[in-house]
């Protein structure tokens, strides 16, 4: 693969690439919509991701090319321009350059970069966080900057919030910057303390199911959920001494939920608080290789995202409902922000082919187009 990318770099920029960088995509095993509520998340870095091949220049020009958007050709930017912006895919790497600048890491060497992304765009597998992190890592090397992986995750989140216009939490950038092969990362988004948990999938497969639904309203609905959580928190604060929703225990919530007058805000808070508790249980279950427990927590998470958080939709629900009727399935749920994107199931290896066929047929019949599958 890397040789093909090097040849492509040579073809496009008429010189050799001097560095090759990679950042993965991610799925979140459980802990959905908890990261902007100070809770736990449990993401897992994928083996597929984004490659960046780079070569320095001796001027202040940055040239970017993506093999995923070949017909856009080479995009050129001047580093001397205060904060270069773009309205195509280049907005993500440019957002990183601008954020680094804001933190005093002045990118003042021009470079040519070729990107190749293996993660389908807009599928909720964090293709944007992946291109951000691969860019920050590449720039750390070519600029000789001393930021840590944790700093890199935080700056990439800021890049997305400030320059790419999505008010996301820290999960994706953190999972990608600090992800470790064959390990999930149990992250406390309040303190940024984390622990790795080995994912020993002996005899089991993770099957990612991409709805292939184009997300349109996703970003605005995401921000709407954030506001609803803030409203619920304000109501609970009248009695409870808490800073974020995930400071509230399940028992405290049940005893005080009537304080939240708005029905929707109460449902959103319920999801977040119970999901946080499920995530802690899921970490323990995975450490004990208790996949049965893990699977039941996955199913409960999906139901809560469907009924209380209301971010699933017919595409994700069809995949998950059918998955749960198939033989050899341990659990299934949506992953990421929702509103389309991907779900995943944990399936006994011997049943994977049958699973994909059955879920595939049901999805096509109900939704009218195909879902696509990635087996890990």
* 297 phi/psi in degrees, rounded to 5: -70, -40
Question: Cβ closer to ligand GLA: 75 or 279?
Answer: 279
Least distance (Å) from ligand GLA to the CB of residue 26? 9
Residues in contact with ligand GLA, shown as a per-residue x/- string from 332 to 361 under the rule CB under 6 A = ----xx------------------------
Nearer to ligand GLA, 54 or 297 (CB): 297
Q: Is 36 in the site for ligand GLA (CB under 6 A)?
A: yes
| Shortest distance, position 157 Cβ to ligand GLA, whole Å | 8
Between 43 and 84, CB nearer to ligand GLA: 43
Site string for ligand GLA, 252-291 (x = CB under 6 A): ----------------------------------------
β-pair type (193-198, 183-188): antiparallel
The reply to whether 87 belongs to the active site is no
Min dist. Cβ of residue 328 to ligand GLA (A):
27
Site string for ligand GLA, 285-324 (x = CB under 6 A): ----------------------------------------
Residue 53's beta-bridge partner residues?
20, 114
DSSP state at residue 95? H
Residue 48, classed as helix, strand or coil, is strand
> Site map for ligand GLA, 153-182, x if CB under 6 A?
---------------xx-xx----------
Residue 17 vs 171, nearer CB to ligand GLA: 171
**Minimum distance, C-beta of residue 225 to ligand GLA, in the bound complex (Å):** 9
Distance CA 270, CA 215 (A): 25
List, in order, residues 6 or more apart from 130 with CB less than 8 Å away. 23, 24, 25, 26, 49, 50, 117, 119, 176
Residues touching ligand GLA, count (CB under 6 A): 11
Q: Of these residues, 172, 247, 308, 317, which one is catalytic?
A: 172
**Which of 281, 292, 20, 41 is closest to 179 using CA atoms?**
41
Length of the chain: 376
What residues have CB less than 8 Å from 296, skipping those under 6 apart?
A: 331
Closest-CA residue to 141 (of 21, 284, 59): 21
Selected range binding ligand GLA among 27-35, 52-60, 136-144, 146-154, rule: CB under 6 A: 27-35
**Distances from the Cα of 168 to the Cα of 250, 271, 310, angstroms:** 25, 18, 18
Q: How far is the CB of 327 from ligand GLA (least distance, A)?
A: 29
Nearer to ligand GLA, 110 or 313 (CB): 313
Helices (H), the chain: 2-13, 91-102, 127-143, 149-162, 171-178, 218-236, 250-256, 263-287, 291-307, 314-325, 352-367
Can you give the binding site for ligand GLA, defined by CB under 6 A? 28, 32-33, 35-36, 168-169, 171-172, 336-337
Catalytic residues: 172
């Amino acid at each position: 693969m890397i040789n093909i990318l090097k040849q492509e770099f040579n073809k496009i920029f008429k010189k050799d690439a001097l560095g090759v960088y990679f950042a993965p995509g991610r799925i979140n095993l459980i802990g959905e919509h908890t990261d902007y509520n100070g809770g736990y998340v449990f993401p897992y870095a994928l083996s597929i991701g984004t490659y960046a091949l780079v070569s320095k220049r001796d001027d202040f020009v940055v040239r970017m090319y993506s093999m995923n958007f070949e017909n856009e050709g080479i995009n050129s930017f001047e580093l001397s321009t205060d904060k270069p912006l773009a309205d195509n895919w280049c907005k993500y790497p440019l957002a990183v350059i601008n954020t680094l600048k804001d933190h005093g890491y002045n990118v003042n060497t021009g470079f040519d970069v070729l990107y190749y992304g293996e993660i389908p765009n807009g599928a909720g597998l964090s293709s944007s966080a992946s291109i951000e992190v691969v860019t920050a890592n590449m720039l750390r090397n070519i600029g000789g900057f001393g930021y840590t992986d944790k700093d890199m995750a935080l700056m990439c989140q800021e890049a997305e919030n400030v320059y790419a216009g999505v008010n996301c939490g820290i999960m994706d950038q953190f999972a990608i910057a600090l992800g470790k092969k064959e390990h999930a990362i149990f992250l406390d988004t309040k303190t940024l303390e984390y622990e790795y948990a080995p994912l020993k999938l002996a005899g089991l497969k993770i099957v990612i199911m991409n709805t292939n639904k184009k997300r349109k309203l996703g970003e605005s609905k995401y921000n709407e959920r954030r506001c609803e959580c803030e409203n619920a928190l304000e109501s609970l604060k009248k009695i409870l001494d808490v800073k974020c929703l995930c400071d509230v225990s399940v028992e405290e919530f049940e005893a005080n939920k009537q304080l939240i007058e708005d029905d929707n805000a109460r449902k959103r808070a319920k999801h977040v608080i119970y999901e946080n508790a499920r995530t802690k249980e899921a970490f323990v279950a995975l450490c004990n290789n208790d996949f049965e427990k893990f699977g039941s927590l996955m199913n409960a998470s999906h139901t809560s995202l469907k009924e209380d958080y209301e971010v699933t939709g017919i595409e994700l629900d069809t995949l998950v409902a059918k998955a749960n009727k198939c033989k050899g399935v341990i659990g299934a749920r949506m992953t990421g922000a929702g509103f389309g994107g991907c779900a995943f199931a944990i399936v006994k290896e011997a049943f994977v082919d049958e699973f994909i066929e059955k879920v595939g047929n049901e999805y096509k019949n109900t939704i009218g187009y195909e879902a696509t599958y990635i087996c890990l």
